[in-house]
Structure 1
Amino acid sequence: MPELEQSLPKYLQIAAYIRDQILRGDLGAGDEVPSERQIAAHWDVSRPTATKALEALRTQGLVESRRGSGTYVLDLYGLHRRARERYQRASQTGRIYPPTERAEIVASELVTAPAHVAEALTLPDGARALRRQRIVFRDDRPVEISVSWYAEAVAERAPLLKDRARIREGTVAYLEGATNRRARHGHDRVSARLADEDELEVFGLAGPAAVLVVRHTVYDMDERPMEFAEAVYPPDAWTFEETYMIH
């Protein structure tokens, strides 16, 4: 277990640790989370603190308590996993998706980069980029449509990107090995818009319908963009960002 810090109450730090396990998919729907007694022992905190940690998870809609049984992860079809959670899972397990999820690569092609992609990847106007599109399924239900973009020079050094096959460790981990560039940080920009016809069909939505859009850019140690991705989620998708103190 990580050490507790002074910046946040202990119960919130414990809740955040368990929440991250749920967001990564380490704990799936129906899995039992640690009990109050287990939390108190593992984290060396009081039972009331452990109780408040589980209550925080219940308030966030992540778990439910069953009298005489325990506390269990809810069925979270509306939950979307951001790149942050997938990077954490890949670094710990070597696989980017949990057992209940899978991705299908539906396109991988070199095309002229749209203006916003060229800007994100710092490419000149009219430059080509590799467009790699995937659909993510959870229990065979589509929960995400995403397109990753790479500069043509990067794609030449990382040839597996051109194949319509899964890269199990994740594209960023693969890029690091293929290009000898180390990813330093990612930047997410979240917005919403109306779904297009293809998105309505994949998600089984009756239009018009709003979708959540996350634009994600990965930068290397020299602040150069390695990957730009756009992920689209159905209208009931949600996630948690952070917990912070006001007073």
Structure 2
Amino acid sequence: MAPSVDRTPPYLQVVQHLREQILKGELQDGDRVPSVRQIAEHWKISQATAMRAISTLSADGVVETVTGVGTIVRTQGNLHRSARDRFTRMLSTGRIYAPGEYAVIKSAELAPATAVVANTLGIDEGAPAIRRHRVTFNEQGPVSSSTSWFAADLAEVVPSLLVKERIPGGTPSAIQAATGRVGHTAEDRMTVDRATAEQAEELGIEPGGPVFIGCNVLRDADGEVIEVGEYASGPGRWTLYEYELPQSP
């Protein structure tokens, strides 16, 4: 079989590389990104192509060109890291949160499963499930609120799931260490809704205001659910995804 050929345009290769560094926290808010000349020399592309890459990142709202300074990362106020970003960061760095972010665990308990959670976990609605609720912050304030749900029987083998403290490396790592179950596939479902009173209080927004909400499901190699996550973030924050399109033969 002939080796695959990367047909991604050169400027998009630069965009993908820099965006990945930003999402992983390797380039943090306020850091300077390489100059157009440095990008052109490193990637062996024209300065016009390098400028196009910077313009694309600027349009995404993750960098800003400052006169006399250069192009710097600007993510604190407008970037929301998706479940995919967090799982990728966990696998590559062993950490869930990017530098400058931290989570406060609000509750860790057995609670009645909602209809969506129960259906995903394969249990009856209202049956007990482990519920961990947290709010994520950065230097500017709350970024998102999120809840992770797990099968109740995990409490016996991973008791830290019921402790109201952060778990180093994240809950998937703790479950893997205790059970050997490894996250194999994940899915995200997203929509927009109006903030509940609890979401509004945690995110510092008006009740009934717009919120971006999502549900993510992490499964092991057998397709069994490891974790069901629900999250909400306020307006003005961008979630970034990249994907390849099939090419005509």
Equivalent residue runs for 1:47-86 within 5 Å? 47-86=47-86
Matches within 5 A, 1:208-223: 208-223=208-223
| Unaligned runs of at least 5 residues, structure 1 | none
Give the deviation of 1:244 after TM superposition.
5.1
The residue aligned with 1:165 is: 165
Alignment: residue pair count: 244
Equivalent position amino acid for 1:242 in 2: E
Question: What letter is aligned with 1:154?
Answer: L
What is the letter of the counterpart of residue 137 of structure 1? Answer: F
TM-score, structure 2 as length reference: 0.89
* 20-29 or 190-199, larger mean C-alpha shift: 20-29
Which residue does 1:242 correspond to in 2? 242
Say yes or no: does 1:39 pair with 2:39. Answer: yes
1:155-192 CA distances to partner (integer Å, 9 max, x unpaired)?
A: 32211111111112111122111111111011000011
CA–CA distance in 1 between the matches of 2:139 and 2:173?
Answer: 25
The corresponding residue for 2:6 is 6
CA distance in 1, matches of 2:87, 2:75: 22
Secondary structure of the residue aligned to 1:30 is coil
Deviations 1:64-115 (A, max 9, x none): 2234542111254121111221222223332211231110111011122122
Distance in 2 (CA, whole Å) between partners of 1:100 and 1:46 is 34
Q: How far, CA to CA, are the matches of 1:15 and 1:5 in structure 2?
A: 18
Tell me, yes or no, if the aligned pair for 2:142 and 2:203 is still in contact at 8 Å. Answer: yes
RMSD: 2.1
Q: Which residue of 1 aligns with 2:93?
A: 93
- Summarize deviations over 1:194-243 as a string: whole Å, max 9, x none: 11111112222223201111101001001111000100111222212225
What secondary structure sits across from 1:72 in the alignment?
A: strand
Identity of matched residues, %: 39
Q: Which amino acid aligns with 1:57?
A: L
Q: Give, in whole Å, the separation in 1 of the partners of 2:103 and 2:234.
A: 16
Q: Which moved more, 1:237-246 or 1:64-73?
A: 237-246
For 1:29 and 1:200, how far apart are their aligned partners in 2?
A: 25
The 3 A distance-change label for structure 1 pair 5 and 66 is farther
Distance in 1 (alpha carbons) for counterparts of 2:225 and 2:75: 36
8 Å contact 1:154–1:179 — kept in the other structure?
no
3-state DSSP class of the match of 2:52?
Answer: helix
Residue 215 of structure 2 contacts residue 231 of structure 2 at CA under 8 Å; is this kept in 1?
Answer: yes
Check the 8 A contact 2:62/2:79 in 1, yes or no: no
Superposition map of 1:100-119 within 5 A: 100-119=100-119
Distance in 1 separating the partners of 2:71 and 2:199: 35
Name stretches of at least 5 consecutive residues in structure 2 with no aligned partner: none
